[in-house]
Amino acid sequence: MKLYKTEHGILLEKEDLFYRIPETDWDIVVNRDDLYDWLQLQSESLIPVTFTADSPMPEVLAPIGSQEVWASGVTYFRSREARMEESEKAGGGSFYDRVYDAERPELFFKSTAPRVIGHKGTVRIRRDSTWDVPEPELTLFASESGTLVGYTIGNDMSSRSIEGENPLYLPQAKSYTGSTALGPCLYVPEQPLSPETVIDLSIVRGGEEVFNGEITLSQMKRKADELLRFLYRELSFSTGCYLMTGTGIIPPSDFTLQVGDVVHITIEPIGTLTNTVG
């Protein structure tokens, strides 16, 4: 099942049918350990709504209420390689090698809810950066108790030039206006996603694809429950929390995003998150 936050309330999609959720507060709807079962009951008691050309589905917003967005780093081998490469001159390469094999994962704060960009919104590259990439990431949603109840797609926009200059610059490389996108929905399955689930990244420039890459979740060294366990170890989230799980798709070192590029991140069965670069 999929939950969409829209201009006119919350929509539930189940088996190609849409239902309007009577409760309009996103935080109240999603922050429950039994979210899947609760949505099942909702679908049984609600009347489906139909969208047409004259009455289209309302614009989809980022699937977030008051939650914070956190992120994980160096969870794929390819990410370890890229971070070591970009930090080599600054002498920080060994940091990423060590965290890849360590018990404790790299976790960092990414964004407050008001700064999150939704599907079809504009993400940004920093004006003081010379090397910028999108990072396509499966993003977990956990309730207040730390229970994994859903997934969405995340774009963890990153300045590789700033992070590579010094690992201590990570917050500036990762957290700025337009650096975080989530969407298009919150996917709430009965069972966890399969390890064979594919993440696909496509970057289009001037109507032509200039980069494409894909990876499966099976290549992720850190598992969802492990990452959430560390995140919730000494933190509380009264309305739940989003956690980006890292990327295994890194464009080559001679590639950087440009204003006007269009980034498509697809994770089926969640959908596709599309953003234009500003």
Q: Residue 183 belongs to what H/E stretch?
A: strand 180-187
- Is the pLDDT at 93 greater than 60? The verdict is no
pTM: 0.93
CA proximity to 83, closest of 195, 158, 185, 176: 158
Residues 114, 115, 120, 123, Cα dihedral to 10° = 170
Q: Tell me the average pLDDT across 97-101.
A: 71
Angle subtended at Cα 263 by Cα 257 and Cα 268, rounded to the nearest 5 degrees: 145
**Could you read off the pLDDT of 204-259 as tens digits, one per residue?**
999 999 999 999 999 998 899 999 999 999 999 999 999 999 999 999 989 999 99
Average pLDDT of the chain is 93
Using 50, 70 and 90 to split pLDDT, how confident is the model at 188? Answer: very high
Residue with tokens 């032509």: 208
Q: Determine contact, residues 207/261, Cβ cutoff 8 Å.
A: no
DSSP-assigned letter for residue 113:
G
